[in-house]
Amino acid sequence: MTTEPAVTTRRPGDELTERAGELDRADPLAGLRSRFLLPEGVVYLDGNSLGALPAAVPPALADAVHRQWGGDLIRSWNDNGWWQAPLRVGDAIGRLIGAAAGQTVAGDSTSVQLFNALTAATRLRPGRPLLLTDPAHFPTDQYVADSVARLTGLEVHRLPLADLPGFLAARGDQVAVAGYSPVDYRTGELSDMAATTDAARRSGALMLWDLCHAAGALPVRLDALGVDLAVGCGYKYLSGGPGAPAYLYVARRHHADFDHPLTGWNGHAEPFAASSDYTPAEGVGRARIGTPPILSMLALEAALTAFDGVDLDEVRAKSLSLTGFLLDCADRELDGLGFTAATPREPARRGSQVALRHPDAYALVQALAAHGVIGDMRAPDLLRFGVNALYTSHGDVLTAVRQLRAVVLAGEHRQERFRRRGEVT
């Protein structure tokens, strides 16, 4: 972490400064920032990769460690509700993604949940030879789709999301399941979940959404849209901590036939009967796998209380205000400095991040970090700035853009120390 002061956002008479102040003063969600423990002197715009630390987490985790594990020991599985945690946390996530209770289970990683869900999907739609995914999808979604297809004898068809409705209309009867993300993890482009889900439904194919970049950032209405399956991680906009448990949503109409390959004992109808044969539990509980990482699970549960009483429509409105303001700031402050916006201008097509293209993206992100402005980059040339309406301010956004301008004007991104690639970018 740097000790250099960030560039001030206060320039007398400056219109952007005034506007940031006005927007922040009028922000109905401004008070939520106190629900997070943000480090001093840092502008954090990477909550789309790892959400900031919610203030509710440290005491909850200390209690989980000292009183529950240390004191109550094995009895905590009953007495402190550990056994029910995957379903309880699943329902808490469900409330943020438009899923009525009893359809969401928390646990494992997104990759594992994807594998389980896609394989089960092929069994829900036997005789259909195609598994569709996006050639621009996050890598793990593509790798897992390939792996499931290999095991089940299906064929993966990589099709851009924009072409999906047309394909489903023409050949949808051959499609078992389509696995897509409503938000492009690189550009931040948001697509029309309703139209795509509807196209899948009409063709009889199952629709699986990966909500990693959507949940907690904008209203998602899984039940209302008739989505079949969804997965997502707990550590981006949900701020559940590094590698926080993921989740799986299975629409209630599929529970009885949800026949998944990761048949761990936690999903058994009678997990303590020690039967040699797997009989799945009723409901989404059958999608539980092995014993979940309780400390990470309880951290996620505490983190989700940052959403208590929060209206996701207000989150969405503020998120759009933040990303819109970021694009405006970039227009004004970065003009002629080699940047182009990769994120669409239209609000309806924006997720909760802004991506800027620049050939020196890697070095720029490193140089920015040295000034306490944290974004990230995706190869080859994207700078990503995620906003989380629960803790990001318009002032943060303006500071980040002005710091980026200062870095470029000073040529800092040409310094060797910022051009060396670390292990993780």
Within residues 194-223, the interface with its own copies by CB under 8 A covers none
Side-chain half-sphere CA neighbours of 396 within 13 A: 28
Q: Measured between alpha carbons, how far apart are the two ends of the chain, in Å?
A: 16
Nearer to its own copies by Cβ, of 2 and 224: the residue is 2
Angstrom CA distances, 230 to 6, 160, 178, 226, stand at 40, 19, 11, 11
CA–CA separation, 249 vs 296, rounded Å?
19
Among 28, 160, 166, 242, binds its own copies (CB under 8 A): 242
- Active-site hit among 36, 115, 138, 307: 138
Does 399 sit near its own copies (CB under 8 A)? no
- Can you point out the beta strands (E) in 24-183? 43-44, 104-106, 130-133, 155-158, 175-180
For residue 53, give the nearest of 302, 212, 310, 239 by alpha carbon: 239
Of residues 186 and 213, the one with the C-beta less far from its own copies: 186
Per DSSP, 200 falls in state H
- Restricted to residues 57-86, the positions that interact with its own copies (CB under 8 A) are 57-58, 61-62, 65-66, 68-78, 82-83
* Residue 128 beta carbon to its own copies: minimum distance, rounded to whole angstroms: 18
Q: What are phi and psi of 15, to 5 degrees?
A: -65, -40
Residue 370's contacts (CB-CB under 8 Å, 6 or more residues apart) are: 2, 4, 412, 418
Q: Which of 129, 263, 283, 316 binds its own copies (CB under 8 A)?
A: 263
Site string for its own copies, 291-320 (x = CB under 8 A): xxxxxxx-x---------------------
Cβ proximity of 90 and 247 under 8 Å: yes
- Indicate which single residue of 23, 44, 174, 225 sits in contact with its own copies (rule: CB under 8 A): 44
Total of residues contacting its own copies (CB under 8 A): 93
In the complex, the smallest distance separating the C-beta of residue 336 from its own copies, rounded to whole angstroms, is 29
- Show contacts with its own copies in window 106-165 (CB under 8 A): 108-112, 115, 119, 135, 138-140, 142-144, 146-148, 150-152, 158
Residues 83-102 touching its own copies, rule: CB under 8 A, are 83
- Shortest spacing between CB 256 and its own copies, in angstroms: 18
Residue ranges in 345-374 that form contacts with its own copies under rule CB under 8 A: 369, 374
What's the min distance (Å) between Cβ of 40 and its own copies?
9
Q: Annotated catalytic, 192?
A: no
DSSP for 84-113, please give it: THHHHHHHHHHTTTT--TTSEEE-S-HHHH
Contact 179, 141 (CB under 8 A): yes
Phi first, then psi: give them for residue 106, nearest 5 degrees.
-100, 145
172/267 with CB nearer its own copies: 267
Kindly indicate which of the ranges 159-167, 289-297, 314-322, 352-360 contains the residues binding its own copies, using the contact rule CB under 8 A: 289-297
Let me know if 185 is a catalytic residue: no
> What's the token pair of residue 342?
């990769």
Task: Respond yes or no: is residue 235 known to be catalytic.
Answer: yes
> Cis peptide leading into 380, omega within 30 of 0?
yes
What residues are labeled active site? 138, 210, 235-236, 384
